[in-house]
Amino acid sequence: MKTLIETGFSKDFLWGGATAANQIEGAYNIGGKGLSTSDFAAYKDPYQSGKVDNFTFNVSSKELEEYIANPDQYQFPKRWGINFYERYKEDIALFAEMGFKVFRLSVSWARIFPTGLEESPNEEGLAFYDKVFDECAKYGIEPLVTLSHYEMPITLTQKYNGWISRELIPLFEKFAKVVLERYKHKVKYWITFNEMNMNLNSLYTGAGVLEDLVENKLETAYQASHHQFLASALAVKACRKIIPHAQIGCMINMIEAYAKTTKPEDQLQALKSNQLNLFYPDVQVQGEYPRYMNRFFAENNIQIHTQPGDEQILKEGTVDFVAISYYMSHVAEFREDAAKLAGTFDSPIKNEYLELSQWDWPIDPIGLRISLLKLYDRYHLPLFVCENGLGARDEVAPDGKIYDDYRIDYIRKHIMEMKEAVKDGVELMGYTTWGCIDLISCGTSQMSKRYGFIYVDLDDEGKGTMDRTRKESFHWYKKVIQSNGEDLT
């Protein structure tokens, strides 16, 4: 048998960058948009130290009440974003200058259905994304659209406490169908839910749930996830019908757990921790709940309410590809209460071999290769790295330039490992670095946690001109794309 080893990225590899509506658009109350859950992500004092150890934000019912009553007392940076709403032409032109083949963005549910409950969509909201996709098309950039990226109309939190309620499924299906129908000639790459596995970490961010109102958080996370699985499967089914040539994927935050030692108990713990993470794509790829969850649910008193027909929906709505965000790996060790911690990424254990980012995120490029190999072994489906990047404080030098060699170094090492994974046989569709333009942080609502190739003149309090400047990494990434990942110098 002749052996063929891939030597690099395929010629149609999708290079680009990724964003989310709530972190870039701003214009939170313009064009008929309703308020979203993310419009209540307040910027809080402790974040200023840059040492917050969290991934996603939570809001309690008391906080929400207070934010609604006294909005002027707080700052909500996701309300202003980087004003992509008005500056999208300039931004897309810059992406095109870098040679982007793909641009990942999300559609704000509340821009299309302001409360989520309307019968018909908000035309102004739909028209906005038409303009964005048309602008992409001008440069031959394919949009990769996430239907749900960490936001939903706040009304659905107030009325139903988010995805804990089954009522959200038909409401989301309606939204998804409207969007798929409207953009069927403009968008062929889709992702249903962003990082659904983060429901285990923040119920508010992932599922619009005020967690102080629920008794059993873990059970709620799985119940909300069950509803999202169904909503995702229904969106996949609709997509197949409306846009037969499209590709639609699921997505998780991939955090590979390494065992702390060679002790078998630690190894088993790592395996179980990885199972709890991969549970999400397992359902969305295989169309059914994996058997290992039965024991986990039983031992943790988790009862998921289902209805006849749910199994069928999951079976019929399996995805075409698996997308991941990848920022770090994780260390697992055996402990009696491991079940409580499993899957929550709440590990205090440091990996002594890895350096940390300024926000204490372990930097592990080889972990990306390991993740890709494991995912491909498990699913045999094309993979897409749709988020990866370094959140760092950038300084504007006296000459006006931003010398972000640390970011170049980070991305270079991750691309090298992706390339090794391709040589190892992984089918990789594309790579979109997170926050290709500086944007508001998801977890901390900071502007100073920057990921971009493009600097945006804006501080944590929303002050600045919002002018865009090319960083050193901009020129470097352009070369990378031009050479299809060969020139990484």
Residues with a known catalytic role: 195, 387
Separation of alpha carbons 128 and 468, rounded Å = 21
Site for ligand BGP in 96-125 (CB under 6 A): none
Site for ligand BGP in 132-151 (CB under 6 A): 150
Separation of alpha carbons 228 and 303, rounded Å = 16
Which residue from 122, 194, 228, 329 is in contact with ligand BGP, where contact means CB under 6 A?
194
Separation of alpha carbons 439 and 461, rounded Å = 13
Separation of alpha carbons 234 and 369, rounded Å = 32
Q: In the complex with ligand BGP, which residue's Cβ is closer, 24 or 418?
A: 24
Number of residues that bind ligand BGP (CB under 6 A): 14
Q: In the complex with ligand BGP, which residue's Cβ is closer, 274 or 325?
A: 325
One-character DSSP codes across 135-193: HHHHTTPEEEEEEESS--BHHHHHHH-GGGSTTHHHHHHHHHHHHHHHTTTT--EEEEE
User: Least distance in Å: CB of 322 to ligand BGP?
Assistant: 15
Question: Is 412 an interacting residue with respect to ligand BGP (CB under 6 A)?
Answer: no
Separation of alpha carbons 150 and 207, rounded Å = 8
- Which range touches ligand BGP (CB under 6 A), out of 183-191, 239-247, 346-354, 443-451? 443-451
Question: Is 442 an interacting residue with respect to ligand BGP (CB under 6 A)?
Answer: yes
Which residue from 121, 391, 452, 485 is in contact with ligand BGP, where contact means CB under 6 A?
391
Q: In the complex with ligand BGP, which residue's Cβ is closer, 47 or 321?
A: 47
- Which range touches ligand BGP (CB under 6 A), out of 108-116, 151-159, 435-443, 477-485? 435-443
Which residue from 223, 325, 344, 473 is in contact with ligand BGP, where contact means CB under 6 A?
325
Separation of alpha carbons 305 and 77, rounded Å = 37
Q: In the complex with ligand BGP, which residue's Cβ is closer, 235 or 442?
A: 442
Other C-beta atoms lying within 10 Å of the C-beta of residue 217: 14
Q: In the complex with ligand BGP, which residue's Cβ is closer, 135 or 387?
A: 387
User: Least distance in Å: CB of 391 to ligand BGP?
Assistant: 4
Q: In the complex with ligand BGP, which residue's Cβ is closer, 201 or 318?
A: 201
Q: H or E element: which one contains 105?
A: strand 102-106
Question: Is 385 an interacting residue with respect to ligand BGP (CB under 6 A)?
Answer: no
Closest residue to ligand BGP in the complex (CB):
443
User: Least distance in Å: CB of 453 to ligand BGP?
Assistant: 15
- Which range touches ligand BGP (CB under 6 A), out of 118-126, 256-264, 437-445, 466-474? 437-445
Q: In the complex with ligand BGP, which residue's Cβ is closer, 121 or 443?
A: 443
Other C-beta atoms lying within 10 Å of the C-beta of residue 49: 7
Task: Give the tokens for residue 416.
Answer: 């090298």
Q: How far is CA 459 from the centre of its chain?
A: 23
User: Least distance in Å: CB of 52 to ligand BGP?
Assistant: 9
Question: Is 253 an interacting residue with respect to ligand BGP (CB under 6 A)?
Answer: yes
**105: which strand partners?**
145
Which residue from 38, 157, 441, 448 is in contact with ligand BGP, where contact means CB under 6 A?
441
Cα distance from N-terminal residue to C-terminal residue, the chain = 36
Question: Is 129 an interacting residue with respect to ligand BGP (CB under 6 A)?
Answer: no
- CA distances for 3 relative to 52, 377, 425, angstroms: 49, 19, 11
Question: Is 289 an interacting residue with respect to ligand BGP (CB under 6 A)?
Answer: no
User: Least distance in Å: CB of 409 to ligand BGP?
Assistant: 18
Separation of alpha carbons 20 and 77, rounded Å = 14
Residues with Cβ within 8 Å of residue 72, at least 6 apart in sequence: none
- Best CA proximity match to 137, nearest among 176, 92, 169: 92
Residue with tokens 């990434």: 477
Question: Is 195 an interacting residue with respect to ligand BGP (CB under 6 A)?
Answer: yes
Measured CA angle at 10 (ends 4, 378), to 5 deg? 70
Q: In the complex with ligand BGP, which residue's Cβ is closer, 321 or 326?
A: 326
Q: In the complex with ligand BGP, which residue's Cβ is closer, 95 or 359?
A: 359
- Which range touches ligand BGP (CB under 6 A), out of 166-174, 270-278, 371-379, 440-448? 440-448
- Which range touches ligand BGP (CB under 6 A), out of 82-90, 296-304, 376-384, 441-449? 441-449
Which residue from 47, 434, 453, 476 is in contact with ligand BGP, where contact means CB under 6 A?
434
Buried b (16+ CB within 10 A) or exposed e, 144-182: bbbbbbbbbbbbbbbebbbbbbbebbebbbbbbbbbbeb
Indicate the burial class of 213 (C-beta count within 10 angstroms; 0-12, 13-18, 19 or more).
middle
User: Least distance in Å: CB of 12 to ligand BGP?
Assistant: 25
For ligand BGP, the binding residues (CB under 6 A) are 20, 150, 194-195, 253, 325, 387, 391, 434, 441-444, 449
